[in-house]
Structure formats: structure tokens, C-alpha cells
A and B are shown apart, each in its own frame.
Chain A
Amino acid sequence: MSLLEVRAASKSFGSLAAVRAVSLRVAAGELRAVIGPNGAGKTTFFNLITGALRPTAGAILFDGRDITAIPAWRRVVLGMARTFQITEIFPELTLAENLRVAVETAAGLRLRPWISRGAAASVRRQVEEMLALAGLAPKAGRLVGELSHGDQRAAEIAMALALRPRLLLLDEPTAGMGEQETYDVTQLVRRLHRDCNLTIVLIEHDMRVVFHLADRIAVLDQGALIADGTPDEIAADRTVQAAYLGQAAEAGAADAGAAEAGAAEAGAA
């Protein structure tokens, strides 16, 4: 059975149809990428899945359960964690404190006005574990707002992981990153997928990352799902090429080159 199922979900803002009747199934253990030109509705689609927005029509099922009407925070409790395109963290808290809130909430302690020594020690251990996993252990005591962009992105992923999710949704995890940072994040996501067998849905612009990581790729264009398949199928898909080239034609020749490079890379992979 699929862990996540989206049934003909639509979202309109006034007369603008941002997402049009998109259906998608993500199997447990799968790493699914969602790609598409700018403004294709990828982030809106993410917001429908995670409950940041309510769909105008359609349904969202998580582990067979209809969660369309369930508030965002409860979806997290059910096992759905996400990161954002623009990093969302607690800037004036230390890295360890950022993770501590996540660990405590995941442990069901959020309303506790006290904490036992044993529970506090267990929280500390899990925080350290997450820091190590994200490669951030030496920076535990630093204020997150003072960390580099790449470290902040990694911190946000670590916070999502601290929730022990069954489904992890990453919105452009490599956005604004340099070569090395992109590589590090790609390796982290691959480890989570391969070693921890985590189900991951990923929005990503960097085609090298997408074709390197994804089991399957869904392509959105102007709010509609235009293709869904393995990386090889997507690379050979004419509608997808047209969607990217169409956009590139508007944006200029430079982008067209990038899109072709992505497609070529996909062919090689």
C-alpha cells in the first residue's frame, strides 16, 4: 500500500489554479522527486500534502487514512515532517536547543511543565544523535542564526529527522548552496533513504541531484501533473522536455542550456 496518496487534489487562489487535479502515490521506502519549471505549483502541492493549505478539491491520504481535514500540526504527529524552501528555524536559539524542541515534542512532552532527569538525559542523547547524523555535532552550542546557510539547511533537516517521521518532505534542500554543500546534502538524503529506509518526497531544481537520488520523478507544469515515472522515462519524455524548453525559450538561451545539460545527465545516469 502506498504511504502517501494524493487523489485529484486542486488548489485555486481566486481565479488562479495553482494545482489542478494532481494525483500521486508514494510507496513506503520510495524516494520521489517532484520537479517542474518555476511557478509550476510544486510548493503549493507540498503545502496541500502537509496541511499548510487546504485543497479546494480532492483528498490526501496518509497510510490509508484520509487526512484532508486534519490540521498541519496533527499531520506531523502522524509522522509527516517537512522542511521549507526558505529555511525555517529558531534563529536566536542554539543548534542543540532547536533540536531539543523537536525531540521533546516528538516524545509527547510538549505540555509537560517539568521533566524528569531520565527523560532529560534521553532527550539529550537523541539531540546528540541527530547532530551527529547531520554532521553538525561540533556546532551544538552555536546560535542557529549565526550558522552558514548550508549548516542552517542541514539543521532544518536534522530537526525534521528528530521528529522520527515516516515521511520526510524536503522543499529544495540544496537551494542557494555551493558545490560542496550540495554534495553533502545529497549524501545525507541518500543515507536517509538507503540506510534508514525513510520515505522521502523531494522538490528540487538541481537536476543532477534529482536524477542521482530519485526512484521516481513526478513533473508538474502549470499546476498539472504532466509526467510520472522512473528517471529514464522522465528523461526521454517529450512533454517534459517541451515544458522545460518552453520555459527556457521565454527565459533565454542560458536556461535552455542548463535544462539540456540536466536531461543529458539523466541519460547518462
Chain B
Amino acid sequence: MRESGRTHPAVLVAIWMVLLLAPAWLGLVGGYTALGARVLVLGLAAMSLNFLLGFTGVLSFGHAAWFGLGAYGTGLTLKFVAASTPLALLAGTLLGGVLGAALGALIAHRRGIYFAMVTIAFGQVFYYIAYRWNALTGGDDGLRGFSRQNLAIGPWSVDIVANGVAFYYFVLICFAAIVAIMALLLRSPFGHTLVAIRENERRARFLGIPVEFHIWAAFALSCVFISFAGGLYALLNNFADPNNLHYSLSGDLVIMAVLGGMRSFWGPLLGAAVFVVLQDYVSSLTTNWMSFVGLLFVLVVLFFPRGLLGVLRGKSPA
């Protein structure tokens, strides 16, 4: 059976080779390993958002809330509870995932602009909590005083604190695990119902699908995935700040997804790469780097509504 929207195997191999070899080639083109890790983390966040946006057809404009909660949950666990990287990541994922699932249940029956507005509001609530609760979160200065810990695998210890390349591969393994879960879900009967809801909510309902419940489930899963990405972000920076929760980051994530192509599974990763690299490179030349991203975004939306990857796919033989 032909599958619409499935990535060509050759493209898949290319993507994974580029990611696997990134520490080797990033330096040759003027990049650095931490930049690669940043692309992976924000790419994972944008792909998590796109699980909802591109594959369920539901726009959340406050997904930074769950990203930031993942970051704070991870940071707070490392600072106050236990010096364990995996445990901190798990705690951050649970914090964002559980709160996302609970609040998602309140809004799963809202649609379009109403849904988007409420998600922004949720995000701002958490932003101000983090901003104001100085004693716990460090307020405006952000959460400091924690550091990712080396991984203990059996008798071995893997240095991901000082060794940036090892940390990159740790992030890549985490990224691969979540991406694999997302891909498998989208190929499952459950994933098929999500795409059906995106395509035609009414038809989906009259096939016997309880649309609100499935939208809630997709929202909750998306929150879990993006919280995990937020946790990785805290580990990457050894820092979390209220901007991780702010709706401007939510907007950036939507831009990454649309820029790369929200109908394609890998599009948001490409969008994140373009966004992060432009931010890194152009911001060293001018403080107005965002106007370049904005210009690119407008051009893409006007001329390639399917995003950068949509253009590439359109030209390659199907």
C-alpha cells in the first residue's frame, strides 16, 4: 500500500549520517558541537509540536510552557533532589507531561483560534510563576547552580559533563528514541486516526472516532515529548530561565515547524537547523537577526507553503 507522506529511505539514511557525523564536519564549516546539540534539542521540540500541529491538525501556541516545565523540572531535580541525569530528565518529562495532560483535558473540545489562545494563556501562567517565585526558580535571573551529571552505565562512567562530543551523542540517542516513538505512533492505527482528524474532523467522528479524546491524547503525548526536549535543553545549558516558557519561544517553535514543512515528519528539524544557525551566525553580525528569520519565513510561506522540505520532496522522484 502506498503511504502518503512517508520519507524516502535514501533521505532517512542521509539524515542519520549527517546527524551521526556532525561532530566531525561541524568544525569544518565554522560550527561547533554544542550548536549541533542545540539544533537537535530545538528540532526535537519542534517535531513534538508538529506531532500535534502537522499530524493532528491542532495548533498550540503555548508549547513552550511544557518545554520550559521540562527544563525547570530537570534543573530543580538536579539542584535539590538527586545528582542523576536520567532521573532529572524523567522528572522534567513527568512535570511537563502530567501538567500538559491535565490542562489539555480542559481544552480538547476547543478549536482553532480559541484553542491557540488558551494554550498561550497557560504558557504565560507558568512563565509568571517561574518569573516571580524567586526562592525556588531564581526568578528573572533563571535557575542556576545545577549541572548535568556523568552517566553511570554498569561499572562504566561516561563523561558528558566536560566532553562535549560525548554529550552530543547522548542527546542524539535521546533524540533518536523519541523520534522513533513518534514515527511508530504515526504508523499505528492510533496515528492513522490523528491524521484522519487533521484531514476531516467530521468524517473522523462519523467513522466512530471520539475526536475530542484522540485530540487530548495527541496533545498529552506532544507535551511529554516536548518536556523531554526541555529537559535536554536544561542539561545542554546547565541553566533554565523564564524565557524557556515564554510564548515568544512557542512562536519560534511554530516558525521552525512551518519553515521546515509541517506536513513532513523531518521538516521541523530542518526548520530548527535553519533557525538556530541563522540565529548563531547572523546575530554575530547584527542584533536584528530576527528580521532575517522573519524575511525567510515570509518568503517560504509565500512561495513554498509546504516548507523547505516540502520543496525538496516535490523535486525528488516519489
Which residues of chain A have a CB within 8 Å of any CB of chain B? Answer: 50, 52, 71-74, 76-77, 81-82, 84, 88-94, 96-97, 100-102, 104-106, 109-115, 124, 127, 140-141, 143, 159, 163
Contact = CB atoms under 8 A, between A and B. Distances in A.
Given A90-B196, A93-B4, A72 B188 contact: no
Interface in B179-206: 184-185, 188-193, 195-196, 199-200, 202-206
Given A104-B192, A112-B190, A73 B2 contact: no
Interface of B: 1-4, 184-185, 188-193, 195-196, 199-200, 202-211, 214, 217, 263
Contacts of B188: 112-115
23 contacts: A50-B206, A52-B206, A71-B210, A73-B208, A76-B208, A77-B208, A84-B206, A88-B200, A90-B196, A92-B199, A93-B196, A96-B1, A97-B1, A97-B3, A101-B193, A104-B189, A110-B193, A112-B188, A113-B185, A113-B190, A113-B191, A115-B188, A163-B207
B210 A93 contact: no
B206 A101 contact: no
Contact of B192 (A100, A124, A163): A100
Contact of B1 (A52, A71, A140): A140
Nearest to A106: B208
B200 A89 contact: yes
Given A52-B206, A76-B206, 13 more contacts: A73-B208, A73-B211, A76-B207, A88-B206, A89-B200, A93-B196, A94-B2, A94-B4, A100-B1, A101-B193, A105-B208, A110-B214, A113-B191
Given A92-B199, A93-B195, A163 B1 contact: no
Contacts of B202: 84, 88
A196 to B, nearest CB: 19
B264 to A, nearest CB: 12
Nearest to A165: B208
